[in-house]
Amino acid sequence: MSIQGWTFLIVGLSFALYIGIALRARAASTKEFYVAGTGVPPIANGMATAADWMSAASFISMAGLISFLGYDGSVYLMGWTGGYVLLALLLAPYLRKFGKFTVPDFIGDRYYSSGARVVAVFCAIFISFTYVAGQMRGVGIVFSRFLEVPIGTGVLVGMAIVFFYAVLGGMKGITYTQVAQYCVLIFAYMVPAIFISLMISGHAIPQLGLGGEVAGAGVALLDRLDGLHEQLGFSPYTGGSRATIDVFFITAALMVGTAGLPHVIVRFYTVPRVRDARSSVGWALLFIALLYTTAPAVAAFARVNLIETVEGAHYEETAGGENERSLPAWFRTWEDTGLLAWVDKDGDGRVAYRSGAVFAAREGQRKVAPVFTGERGAHGERLLANEPTANRNELYVDRDIMVLANPEIARLPNWIVGLVAAGGLAAALSTAAGLLLVVSSAVSHDLLKRSLLPSITEAGELKAARISAALAVCVAGYLGVHPPGFVAEVVAFAFGLAAASFFPAIIMGIFWRRMNREGAVSGMLVGIGFTAAYIIHFKFVRPEDNTPENWWLGISPEGIGTVGMLINFAVAAVVSRFTPPPPEQVQELVEHIRIPKAARTSARDDG
């Protein structure tokens, strides 16, 4: 069967599975809609959290990102896993004991302030929409690359699927589809990874292959990579080029941001007991680590393979001979999709891969991407409208290719390509659903029930939750079809905001009984204000200044959330010293959430 046929079959089967689960897991009450009736077993919650967390970016782009960044890519590996230690030790068990439905719920109750609740609602909605736009776009891109349908149609299909289980099933439906989606995505990631590991290193376990030797060459893989990088003018793969202080602050911002993301936190409201909240974070990280320790191995294999296959190869078939190679067939396949491009600068018909951009961005482009003229050059390559640069690099490589093209590079059967497509879709859809639920519960629960319309009935609130979920799906779909152009830039925003707002406010709410409304609110406002101002300055107002010499202390906008968090802590500490302590019943609440056993049953009641 053809690649397309397999892709349709496997993607279709996976969608049928998700819809089947959605039909069986309909939510009958708001408690089921928001927190799956707090009846999710810890291992299932771990899988659901892993799928919730691992997005289209983790699945498709991360290995490629690391492949091009080398050691510098470690910020994502450590940053996006280390946050789970913070979640397990500092947040999840206490928030589970608190036992309400959302993150703004905790902020509003702990700081006895509807103002704080509303600030939290808007942060949660902003963070979620920022993120979800990228997921919907990811769905569209997977569809267009593997099934050759327009991106818009792909987004619509994705919306329809998410609509089905998010609107019908709420958290209950999402949880069990996420469990299925984790299984699909991890299988789809591991199979090609294992084969490419066998091909390059001879090890069946990619994590061991990364530390192994290049098969048949007697030299360590990572040394080979460092050697190739040096030869071609790239900075060493295991060395990196970012300043240490920036690596430190970015890692911290990603860790703290991860721990502060509302769609991740809320997953730990869904388990039956405090001890289940603790262990399900462990399971979640175990399931995430499986992919996150494989990704750097895939990155290194794909990098070695790419360089050794294309560097110096003839674009056209050659007669052969000593040191005469021509490009493999997959190069042309992916050139046709625009993920690869070649400019024959020196006119020798061979690919030269060096450091530096091949060509300049076209006017109006926010980043350098190839624009094809539609004509073919002397060797049959696709010609570009972009202005070539003066350096010797002739090859443009989109980082996504490192995962997408793996099956072809490793000459795997067609059904594996279909599997990778289904895996990418599972990753994108599961994350999108989790985020949309946060938006829907923020609107129906935190804004309506807890702020504007406290008299709303249970049935009315459930209906409001379904309507806001449906609206959120439509907004997300719109953002997926018409991406606002700055999606990539605002992801730094999402993490920065989560790090500078939710994380400190929740931590102080649990570990510092004396922390009061005035302290927490002013800390959040100053933290958010500082972080937002810094990011807006370098990403939107003066993007041309976004270079290490101009950064404050050499900290990039990606890492500034860490500073925002520290400012939040400091401001809150000072302000709370000069303002009255929180009321008796709030101090009582802090005592209550610190102890697993429910001493007061009343605190568990809803509303």
Partner 1 sequence: MREARPRHEAYWRANIRILAVLLSIWFTVSYVCGILLVEPLNQVRIPLTGFKLGFWFAQQGSIYTFVVLIFVYVRLMNRLDDEHGVSED
CA 74 to chain centre: 15
287 or 538: CB nearest partner 1: 287
**Shortest CB 474 distance to partner 1, Å:** 38
**Tokens matching residue 301:** 């294999």
208 or 553: CB nearest partner 1: 208
Give me the residues paired with residue 213 across strands: 220
244 or 547: CB nearest partner 1: 244
**Shortest CB 581 distance to partner 1, Å:** 7
**Shortest CB 303 distance to partner 1, Å:** 13
Cα–Cα distance between 324 and 233 in angstroms, integer? 22
Cα–Cα distance between 243 and 241 in angstroms, integer? 7
413 or 581: CB nearest partner 1: 581
Exposure of 453 by Cβ count < 10 A (0-12 exposed, 13-18 middle, 19+ buried)? middle
**Shortest CB 519 distance to partner 1, Å:** 16
* Binding-site ranges for partner 1 (CB under 8 A): 66, 71, 73-74, 77-78, 81-82, 84-85, 88-90, 93, 207-208, 210-213, 220-223, 238-239, 244, 247-248, 251-252, 273-275, 278-279, 281-282, 285-286, 289, 292-293, 296, 514, 581, 584, 587, 591, 594-598
Q: Residue 311 has what DSSP assignment?
A: T
Q: Are 473 and 437 in contact (CB under 8 A)?
A: no
Q: Are 433 and 426 in contact (CB under 8 A)?
A: no
225 or 492: CB nearest partner 1: 225
For 549, the 3-state DSSP assignment is coil
Exposure of 338 by Cβ count < 10 A (0-12 exposed, 13-18 middle, 19+ buried)? middle
* Kind and range of the H or E run holding 372: strand 372-376
376 or 594: CB nearest partner 1: 594
For 542, the 3-state DSSP assignment is coil
Write the CA distances from 483 to 131, 132, 148, 428, 487, integer angstroms: 12, 11, 20, 15, 7
Cα–Cα distance between 571 and 593 in angstroms, integer? 25
**Shortest CB 258 distance to partner 1, Å:** 11
Q: Which amino acid is at 511?
A: F
**Shortest CB 82 distance to partner 1, Å:** 5
337 or 587: CB nearest partner 1: 587
**Shortest CB 455 distance to partner 1, Å:** 34
Residues recorded for the chain: 607
274 or 341: CB nearest partner 1: 274
**Shortest CB 530 distance to partner 1, Å:** 22
Cα–Cα distance between 485 and 543 in angstroms, integer? 14
Cα–Cα distance between 562 and 345 in angstroms, integer? 44
Q: How far apart are the first and last CA of the chain?
A: 56
**Shortest CB 100 distance to partner 1, Å:** 18
250 or 343: CB nearest partner 1: 250
Q: Which amino acid is at 523?
A: G
**Shortest CB 600 distance to partner 1, Å:** 13
36 or 299: CB nearest partner 1: 299
Q: Are 257 and 566 in contact (CB under 8 A)?
A: no
The contacts of residue 28 (CB under 8 Å, 6+ apart) are: none
275 or 577: CB nearest partner 1: 275
**Shortest CB 364 distance to partner 1, Å:** 37
Cα–Cα distance between 439 and 130 in angstroms, integer? 11
* Kind and range of the H or E run holding 126: helix 114-147
**Shortest CB 213 distance to partner 1, Å:** 7
213 or 408: CB nearest partner 1: 213
Give me the residues paired with residue 396 across strands: 341
Q: How many CB atoms neighbour CB 336 within 10 A?
A: 11
Cα–Cα distance between 282 and 279 in angstroms, integer? 5
